[in-house]
Amino acid sequence: MSVTSTSNFVQAIIDEDIANGAKEIYTRFPPEPNGYLHVGHAKSICLNFGLAERNNGKCNLRFDDTNPVKEDTEYVDSIKADVEWLGFHWEGEERYASDYFPKFYECAVQLIKDGKAFVCDLTAEEMREYRGTLTEPGKESPYRNRSVEENLALFEAMKNGEFPDGAKVLRAKIDMASPNINMRDPIIYRIAHAHHHRTGDAWCIYPMYDFAHPISDAIEGISHSVCTLEFEDHRPLYDWVLDNLAEFAQFPSRPHQYEFARLELNNTITSKRKLKKLVDEGIVDGWDDPRMPTISGMRRRGYTPEAIRNFCDMIGVSKSNSRVEFGMLEYCLREDLNMNARRAMVVLDPLKITITNYPEGQIEYLDAEINPNKPELGTYKIPFGREIYIEQEDFKEEANNKFFRLKPGKEVRLKHAYIIQCDEVVKDEAGNIIELKCSYDPTTRSGMENANRKVKGTLHWVEATTALDAEVHMLDFLLLPEQGEGDFMEYLNPNSLVVKAGCKATPDMKEAKAGDKFQFLRNGYFCVDSRYSTPEHLVFNETVSLKGNYKPE
Ligand code: ATP
Ligand code: MG
């Protein structure tokens, strides 16, 4: 697929670092296992793993599991599966920040010994008061000048579980007058009597992200620690931690942090907290509901790793936040599916036709192309007979000259089959159209004398006696386009899922497997649902429509 890769300022930095003698490019993707990954994470994954691939380097998968309350092994497993599905390989085994708990502790003790950290008893509220504001400096904590001995003893007592949650914290002793609030004696350890998904009850104190992250990076030998823009103001603290521990810890590398803009897509939720709420409240069918912008949801819906990777390439990496058109992601998806999805004829809203001059009981098998973009894939067989289904909307009793589909007395071509003409409309007592009686021209099939006879419209169809019943889920955004200030739950789209039962598919679909992708002619791209579909009861998710408005420049 020809998508031009846009600018990537991190690569530009790496180019310079390599020119200046950098030996190894080593990145990491550090998700917190407190939810499933979403499309925003895909950008970070493509960036971090992509930088490693492009520069012959390495990339770690590290679970940033320093907050025991929200973390779970279900999330660990899903994250690994998602990264692999996107087609990336992490270096060695996956890492866990929790494996470094002893090292974090040693580092904290060292800062205390060096007079650079202290145990503080201020309450959360007092701490807020002492912190100051953007325009006013903070005030020093009355506990700031505890002796090293006292701090060591108190920190050990914290570790030994002698205090309840919130009673004390360990803070770095930096500068309460710093213009950067992150540098005003930030908390680096807190007490949490909580069960951890890996370390169990071994610890009741846990390091803060700003302390654990730089140390984890340095332990792993990371060179470029890439994160999102909201951490820009935390970078001085990242550097402070590493600079003040370098001599003691003798880390294998001195990583540097670089920040890029988060991916935000219109009408799309890219917050694990909000996505979790949709799952917990049963608004969606789990994290992998095909409407969810999670990687597992997109996979179930029929997105391909190639499409997502191309999209991440196309949007580039920049330092300014901006919202990306969802249409761009759909564009990348269509490009891929158009080349690779098998063609199929499925009727979503069936209207029965009897072809009165076709022999009763006869079925003939016709050739249908698998994908016109790949003629080498050849054809598959579809049955044709006296009774078929077309879409209800492909027939109109009264229509103007622009309606090139079927109307009384007029002809259309049935794709891969014959030209038919509508002779009679059958209605029920209420006046609803329930059937059409048509006649066919037996000389108009491919290879026959009138195969090329021109009629304006071509319809997809399915032979009725061999048809399989299918359920098709038509999908739309979870959020309505017009979002105000309020809670996102007020903007849920009530029509994000429309279930069409009684759709009709050709019998070859019996072979369709979970995850198989199709272009239903004239109807869009669809994917076999991995949870509910069986050969006896096919269930498809609408992946994306055939056409969108977005055009690349
Ligand atoms: P959320 O806000 O959804 O909870 P998070 O940033 O807390 O996301 P993490 O598990 O900490 O989630 O994220 C792992 C990595 O993915 C981080 O480096 C983070 O910066 C990156 N990331 C998360 N969301 C986005 C996004 N929307 N665009 C780009 N990168 C993202
Ligand atoms: Mg986070």
* Structure confidence at residue 526 as a pLDDT band (50, 70, 90): very high
Q: Specify the higher pLDDT residue, 216 or 320.
A: 216
Quick check: 3 pLDDT over 70? no
Element (H, E) at 363: strand 363-369
Which residues make Cβ contacts (< 8 Å) with residue 515, sequence separation at least 6? 299, 300, 302, 527, 528, 530
Side by side, the strands of the sheet bearing 497-505 are 342-344, 517-520, 524-528, 538-544, 468-475, 497-505, 346-347
**For ligand 1, mutation pick of 10, 44, 326 (most atoms within 8 Å of CB):** 44
Which residue's CA is minimally distant from atom 25 of ligand 1?
A: 40
User: Average of pLDDT values for 372-378?
Assistant: 97
User: Average of pLDDT values for 482-494?
Assistant: 85
Ligand 1 atom at minimum distance from 262 CA: 28
Quick check: 221 pLDDT over 70? yes
User: Average of pLDDT values for 12-29?
Assistant: 95
Query: Domain map of the chain by residue range?
Result: 9-264, 343-466
Q: Which residue has the tokens 């994908």?
A: 371
262-285 pLDDT per residue, tens: 999 988 999 999 999 999 999 999
User: Average of pLDDT values for 440-459?
Assistant: 95
**For ligand 1, mutation pick of 41, 46, 76, 262 (most atoms within 8 Å of CB):** 41
Interhelix angle 9-19/39-54, nearest 10 degrees: 20
Which residue's CA is minimally distant from atom 29 of ligand 1?
A: 262
How open is the CA angle 34-36-37, to the nearest 5 degrees?
A: 110
Which residue's CA is minimally distant from atom 4 of ligand 1?
A: 272
CA of 32 to the centre of ligand 2 (A): 6
Q: What is the CATH superfamily name and number for domain 9-264?
A: HUPs (3.40.50.620)
pLDDT of residue 6: 54
Quick one: how many helices (H) and strands (E) in the chain? 12, 27
Ligand 1 atom at minimum distance from 48 CA: 18
Query: Do residues 337 and 329 make contact, with C-beta atoms less than 8 angstroms apart?
Result: no
Question: Catalytic residue numbers?
Answer: 32, 262, 272
90-142 pLDDT per residue, tens: 999 999 999 999 999 999 999 999 999 999 999 999 999 999 999 999 999 99
Full-model pTM: 0.94
Quick check: 2 pLDDT over 60? no
User: Average of pLDDT values for 524-537?
Assistant: 96
Ligand 1 atom at minimum distance from 231 CA: 20
User: Average of pLDDT values for 52-76?
Assistant: 94
Reduced 3-state DSSP string for 520-545: ECCCEEEEECCCCCCCCCEEEEEEEC
pLDDT of residue 72: 86
Quick check: 7 pLDDT over 90? no
CA of 356 to the centre of ligand 2 (A): 66
CATH of 343-466, one of 4.10.520.10, 2.40.240.10, 1.10.10.10, 1.20.1250.20: 2.40.240.10
Ligand 1 pocket by Cβ (under 6 Å): 30-32, 40-41, 43-44, 227-228, 262-263, 270-273
